[in-house]
Amino acid sequence: MSIHVVIGFGPAGAATARLLAEQGHTVRVVTTSGRRPEPGIEHLALDASDSARLTEAARGATAIHACAAPPYHRWPAAWPRLASSLCAAAEATGAVLVLLGNLYGYGPVDAPLTEDLPLAATGPKGRVRAAVWERARALHEQGRIRAVEVRASDFFGPGVTDGGHLAARVVPRLLRGKPVSTLGNPDAAHSWTYLPDVVRALVEVAGEERAWGRPWHVPTQPARSVREMVERLTARAGTGPVAVRRLPPAVLGVAGLFSPLIRELKEIRYQFDRPFVVDASAYEDAFTVRATPLEEQVGATVDWWRERGTAAG
């Protein structure tokens, strides 16, 4: 078995580290604060933007899984330094750089999203996220690093608490039979990527040389609206039906005065105002990971949130 470095220990980083450990790999997790070790996982406290320290942490590693991101409102300022450090560590150590990406870089598109679309985002977060991949891709093509990006749509599932869609602002409310509010059109088709599928894809492409040098979309179930997902979740929980309400733009504007996160959501409202559909057929044609059946996704999500509520109580 080999050594893998995981940057970040949020939902995706933690699940990636634990899957790698379950497979018998030695895992080093890098966070700013560190944590107590757990079986197969060593936790290191350092700033991943410090290229010298990150390079030292990645010595001997087969892959660096970049699952962290700067605070949402600081992306334009903080991502370039972090991306530079990730690439420097990959070049110095020879580890494969596996980037967890999103779909912001495409910008608004009136068709299903495929990996061959241009990165034509016009907003600052979309542009900076596209630049992270373009930098890694250019270095890969120069033969200086080996890199691959795995792109996911809004993800949900056990462990996912942040974000406003199918996470902390929605699922706890629907489990209590309370109305939920949503950004954009609650009836627009939207792709939801299940966190365990994200993690399995990150681990799979790290060991597949034919995956390197390009982006891949995580296998994702067919797009469903916020309303339909809420109906599925409440049906599984036995708490439905609940009302699904669109947040008026004026309310978002006022909330944005007090919340940096809500203020930043303005850039990506297009993803929820109209259909936002991911095509992952390229990945499915090449590799083994498939999207988890929807009923299993819904059941695991409801069960996790209920257990979390019980533990908190």
pLDDT in tens, 192-225: 999 999 999 999 999 999 999 999 999 999 999 9
What pLDDT was estimated at residue 312? 52
The answer, yes or no, to whether residue 101 has pLDDT greater than 90, is: yes
pLDDT at 162: 81
pLDDT at residue 207, rounded to an integer: 97
Mean pLDDT, residues 5-31 taken together: 97
SS3 call for 150: strand
What's residue 247's pLDDT?
Answer: 80
Residues 64 and 129 in one domain: yes
**Residues 75 and 61 grouped into a single domain:** yes
The confidence score (pLDDT) of residue 242 equals 95
pLDDT tens-digit profile of 242-260? 999 988 776 666 666 666 6
- Number of separate domains in the chain: 2
Which pLDDT value is given to residue 269?
A: 86
| 285 in a structural domain | no
Q: Which long-range contacts (CB under 8 A, 24 or more apart) does 43-49 make?
A: 43/9, 48/7, 48/8, 48/82, 48/85, 48/86, 49/78, 49/81, 49/82, 49/85
pLDDT for 313: 44
Residue 84 domain flag: yes
268-293 mean pLDDT: 96
Range of the domain at 254: 160-190+223-277+294-307
Confidence band, pLDDT 50/70/90 cuts, at residue 103: very high
- Is 80 exceeded by the pLDDT of residue 310? no
pLDDT at 130 over 90: yes
124 in the same domain as 267:
no
Mean pLDDT computed over 262-286 = 90
Cβ within 8 Å of residue 189, ≥6 positions away: 223, 224, 225, 275, 276, 277
Query: Do 231 and 298 share a domain, yes or no?
Result: yes
62 pLDDT tier (thresholds 50, 70, 90): very high
